[in-house]
Structure 1
């Protein structure tokens, strides 16, 4: 039996920053992979 789309998206693992391993808070229409802290380090 197929699960509902809502159940599917709730069951996905949280996004994790590949640089430091910290959880990334996802935003709509955002394709960023790094957390804000690692992104700010790259801009320096």
Structure 2
């Protein structure tokens, strides 16, 4: 049976930072994979 789009997006797993394993707070229109902490380390 085909899921509704709402149900599909509701059941997606949380995005996890590949560097540290922390759950990434998702934002609309964001394609970032790392968490804010790991991103700020890369900017230094």
Class of the TM-score when normalised by the shorter of the 2 chains = over 0.9
Q: TM-score, normalised by structure 1?
A: 0.94
How far residue 2 of structure 1 moved from its aligned partner, in angstroms, is 1.2
Unpaired stretches in structure 1, ≥5 consecutive residues? none
Please state whether the residue corresponding to 2:27 is helix, strand or coil. Answer: coil
Mapped to 1, the partners of 2:40 and 2:3 lie a distance apart of: 39
4+ runs deviating over 3 angstroms: none
| Cα root mean square deviation, aligned | 0.6
Taking the TM superposition and a 5 Å limit, the aligned residue runs for 1:21-32 are: 21-32=21-32
